[in-house]
């Protein structure tokens, strides 16, 4: 299934869920939206033209003063209820793409919406079409610390069953805003009591909540469209790469992945001036090498190069393929295709627009398929993310996602400095991350939807691999932190 098909199916699921909500909002739900309106009213000028995306029944929008208010939601039943709830407001069925681009808004609200969106980065990019340099984007989303509390309330029947959500952290949202060319103006944790009403709530939320920001229920972010890069003489201060002049090498290490080889070719979008594929076979026990040879012959119009690695391990495969690559950008795509190839243009765009110099795949932001990652693997991945963020001084949420993208020039610099750490990493992930940090490259997570395998089983022994990774972390700590 293509990325577009996944998105369409997920959007239909979300639309069906919200259209099926035929009971009025509870008293607590109404009180919560009035609390949010109180905070938004302090952030939004009363004379502005305002849009709320994902407005639902319009309960929040009707309590925020503004000169003109537009509510947008793609669930028709929700818009019908909103029009009954607040008939003076202009409510519309549709998405941002349905709005006229010549009618920009002064303020745009995404209230408790980003956690339900299939592709947050794509939504944030779309919002630019109804924005001006003076537009302010305002978001609120729940603090992940409250997740177990919400689950307990739901299990006790104190909270209605909710649609599966992404539970984005503040760091996740800031990262996605940067990737979508939004500049964060301010962040404000708010509210310890989750509804408006009464003197006690006022005292706690006004005077105590600011002193305990880590425990606040919701986080507010205000952002503006990122300013254009300043001009210095006849050149940009921060030049970006021209996408039409950029060439791409996609390296695909493959061991016992015969069933995925052709899909890796057919599902990867064209990028830049041209895209080449380099398959590196690693001693498979199935017919992977024969399938690679067949696919090369079946697609003579594509740039496909094939090779067999000289040693073992993904790290060796990647290094030998990178040495042969001719593209300006080097990409790694795991042959199991659990990172959908359709997502690769996100990495391409992040690097060529200057948002980062090293794009690192992140599987731990959006919900993943049920069988995509075992529970213990999830714990290990999150633990390594915390450790690496501390080691590198940059936020890295998922160190072990196989997809990583950087320029060939920067990779060659990493290779020249490899002696500092040594050839110690059989997987190749840490080798690249440590090398990028050594060169002070800007690393940024690229959130993706992690999918179940459709062929074969993992080639990694999680216990032996986990012990090896821990040893590498201790080794790197001596080289990076304790110096």
Helical H segments across 111-235, by residue range = 120-127, 147-155, 170-179, 199-203
Ranking 119-123, 287-291, 465-469 by mean pLDDT, the lowest is 465-469
Identify each DSSP E strand in 178-258 by its residue range: 182-190, 218-225, 231-232, 235-236, 247-254
Flag whether pLDDT at 21 surpasses 60: yes
Helical H segments across 44-112, by residue range = 76-85
Tens of pLDDT, residues 203-247: 998 889 888 988 999 999 999 898 764 443 443 444 456 888 999
State residue 396's pLDDT score. Answer: 84
Unique residue bearing structure tokens 């795509």: 333
Nearest to 361 by CA among 268, 462, 444: 444
Residue 341 or residue 441, greater confidence: 341
Ranking 51-55, 231-235, 274-278, 402-406 by mean pLDDT, the lowest is 231-235
State residue 252's pLDDT score. Answer: 97
State residue 9's pLDDT score. Answer: 58
Flag whether pLDDT at 121 surpasses 60: yes
Tens of pLDDT, residues 175-205: 999 999 998 888 888 999 988 888 999 999 8
Q: Could you give all domains of the chain from N- to C-terminal order, each with its CATH number?
A: 16-148+161-225 (3.40.50.150), 243-480 (3.90.550.10)
State residue 482's pLDDT score. Answer: 61
Q: What is the mean pLDDT of residues 349-361?
A: 90
If pLDDT is split at 50, 70 and 90, which confidence band does 465 have?
low
State residue 229's pLDDT score. Answer: 47
CA–CA gap between residue 152 and residue 148 (Å, rounded): 6
Flag whether pLDDT at 63 surpasses 70: yes
Among 111-125, 291-305, 311-325, 430-444, the range with the most confident prediction by mean pLDDT is 291-305
Average pLDDT, the chain: 85
CA–CA gap between residue 287 and residue 248 (Å, rounded): 27
Residue 280 or residue 169, greater confidence: 280
Ranking 30-44, 160-174, 220-234, 266-280 by mean pLDDT, the lowest is 220-234
CA–CA gap between residue 18 and residue 23 (Å, rounded): 11
């Amino acid at each position: 299934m293509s990325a577009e098909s996944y998105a369409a199916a997920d959007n239909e699921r979300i639309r069906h869920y919200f259209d099926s909500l035929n009971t009025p909002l509870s008293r607590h739900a109404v009180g919560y939206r009035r609390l949010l309106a109180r905070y938004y009213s302090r952030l939004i000028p009363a004379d502005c033209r305002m849009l709320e995306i994902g407005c639902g029944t319009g309960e929040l929008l009707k309590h925020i003063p503004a000169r003109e208010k537009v509510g947008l939601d793609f669930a028709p039943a929700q818009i019908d209820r909103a029009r009954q709830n607040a008939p003076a407001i202009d409510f519309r069925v549709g998405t941002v793409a349905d709005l006229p681009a010549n009618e920009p808004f002064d303020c745009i609200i995404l209230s408790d919406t980003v956690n339900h969106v299939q592709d947050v980065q794509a939504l944030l990019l779309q919002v630019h079409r109804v924005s001006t340099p003076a537009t302010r984007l305002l978001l609120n989303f729940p603090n992940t610390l409250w997740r177990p509390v919400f689950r307990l309330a739901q299990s006790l029947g104190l909270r209605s069953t909710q649609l599966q959500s992404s539970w984005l952290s503040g760091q996740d949202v800031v990262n996605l805003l940067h990737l979508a060319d939004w500049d964060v103006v301010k962040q404000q944790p708010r509210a310890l009591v989750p509804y408006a009403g009464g003197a006690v709530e006022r005292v706690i939320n006004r005077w105590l909540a600011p002193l305990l920001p880590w425990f606040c229920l919701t986080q507010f972010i205000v952002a503006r469209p990122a300013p254009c890069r300043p001009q210095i003489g006849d050149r940009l201060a921060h030049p970006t790469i021209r996408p039409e002049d950029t060439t791409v090498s996609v390296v695909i290490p493959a061991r016992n992945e015969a069933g995925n080889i052709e899909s890796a070719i057919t599902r990867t979008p064209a990028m830049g001036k041209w895209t080449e594929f380099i398959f590196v076979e690693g001693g498979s026990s199935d017919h992977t090498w024969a399938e690679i040879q067949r696919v090369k012959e079946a697609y003579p119009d594509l740039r496909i190069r094939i090779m067999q690695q000289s040693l073992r391990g993904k790290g060796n495969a990647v290094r030998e393929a990178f040495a042969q690559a001719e593209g300006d950008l080097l990409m790694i795509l795991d042959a199991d295709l659990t990172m959908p190839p359709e997502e690769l243009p996100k990495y391409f765009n992040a690097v060529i627009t200057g948002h980062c110099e090293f794009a690192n795949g992140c599987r731990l932001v959006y919900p993943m398929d049920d069988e995509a990652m075992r529970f213990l693997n999830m714990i290990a991945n999150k633990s390594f993310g915390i450790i690496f963020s501390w080691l590198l001084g940059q936020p890295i949420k998922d160190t072990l996602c196989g997809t990583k993208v950087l320029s060939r020039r920067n990779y060659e610099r990493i290779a020249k400095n490899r002696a500092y750490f040594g050839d110690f990493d059989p997987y190749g992930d840490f080798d690249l991350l440590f090398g990028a940090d050594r060169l002070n490259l800007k690393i940024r997570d690229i959130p993706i939807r992690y999918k179940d395998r459709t062929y074969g089983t993992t080639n990694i022994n999680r216990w032996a691999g986990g012990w090896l990774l821990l040893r590498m972390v201790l080794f790197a700590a001596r080289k990076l932190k304790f110096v």
